[in-house]
Structure 1
Amino acid sequence: MGDGDRGVVGFGGVIVTLWQKDRADRRAELWRRLTRAFEQAAYGGGPAAELGVKAVGVISRSRLATREEAALVVAFLRATLPRRADNERGAR
Structure 2
Amino acid sequence: MPVPAGAVQALSSSAAGGQGKNVPDKEELAQATEKISKLVATFASELNFSIDEDLGVPIVKVIDKHTDKVIRQIPTEEVLELSKNLDKLVGVLYQSKA
Structure exhibiting the larger radius of gyration computed from Cα positions: 1
TM-score normalised by structure 1 residue count: 0.37
Structure showing the higher strand proportion among its residues: 2
TM-score normalised by structure 2 residue count: 0.35
Structure showing the higher helix proportion among its residues: 1
Greater relative contact order: 1 or 2 (C-alpha under 8 angstroms, separation 6 or more)?
Answer: 1
